[in-house]
Chain A
Amino acid sequence: DGGITQSPKYLFRKEGQNVTLSCEQNLNHDAMYWYRQDPGQGLRLIYYSQIVNDFQKGDIAEGYSVSREKKESFPLTVTSAQKNPTAFYLCASSARQGPNYEQYFGPGTRLTVT
């Protein structure tokens, strides 16, 4: 799982509550990403960021928000507007450009909302 940490590993919340998932990396990567994984659907990109104070919506950004105040950190907030938040969430980081573009993934956070 490289130099990326996600906490906590398991998270339980009641419906209607916002929840923030942590992602920290010590790989000195400029770019960071958030994915959602559901069974049989592969990985879907939520948000990504190429530099501090900049981020872009991915394919399924509705109901989520992010911030990028530090290079090492890219927290994801799952808001009450997200209709089906129960999923496995993966954070990744990579170099911004050049041939070493492979993304390195954290261990993931499994969120259950009831």
Chain B
Amino acid sequence: AQSVAQPEDQVNVAEGNPLTVKCTYSVSGNPYLFWYVQYPNRGLQFLLKYITGDNLVKGSYGFEAEFNKSQTSFHLKKPSALVSDSALYFCAVRGFDRGSTLGRLYFGRGTQLTVWP
């Protein structure tokens, strides 16, 4: 079965400090992993993805994510947080329902990131 876990409901960090939002996954086969961000009352925006290749993936707005196969993790990072980064972050893994040829995403519950000035 496919699943994603985001162990922290909330992450708080001071502006200018590095931030990490954690994600672990479970999937059969090679993982396709994604990070999305959601601002209040808005849809999700795609940040970055890991399909294959380098374990460090760079994405939008200065975010990056580190894929670790042995730890089945895909943590989102940013070297220096901004107040405007405050939002809800979702990790997702691609998987397949039984009998389906169309992949779908399995989302974590989300992590609320708050960056204070």
Contact = CB atoms under 8 A, between A and B. Distances in A.
Interface of A: 1, 4, 6, 31, 33, 40-43, 45, 48, 50, 56, 58, 88, 90, 92, 96-97, 99, 101-108, 110
Interface residues of B, number: 25
B65 to A, nearest CB: 13
Nearest to A56: B100
A56 B102 contact: yes
Nearest to A90: B43
B116 interface: no
B112 to A, nearest CB: 10
Contacts of A106: 43
A42 B110 contact: yes
Interface string B47-75: 00101000000000000000000000000
Contacts of A97: 103
A62 to B, nearest CB: 16
Contacts of A4: 43
A107 B38 CA distance: 10
Contacts of B46: 102-104
Nearest to B107: A43
Contact of B42 (A33, A92, A104, A107): A107
Contact of B108 (A1, A6, A42, A88): A42
B44 interface: yes
17 contacts: A6-B43, A42-B108, A43-B107, A50-B101, A50-B102, A56-B100, A56-B102, A88-B41, A90-B44, A92-B43, A101-B103, A102-B34, A102-B49, A103-B44, A105-B43, A108-B43, A110-B41
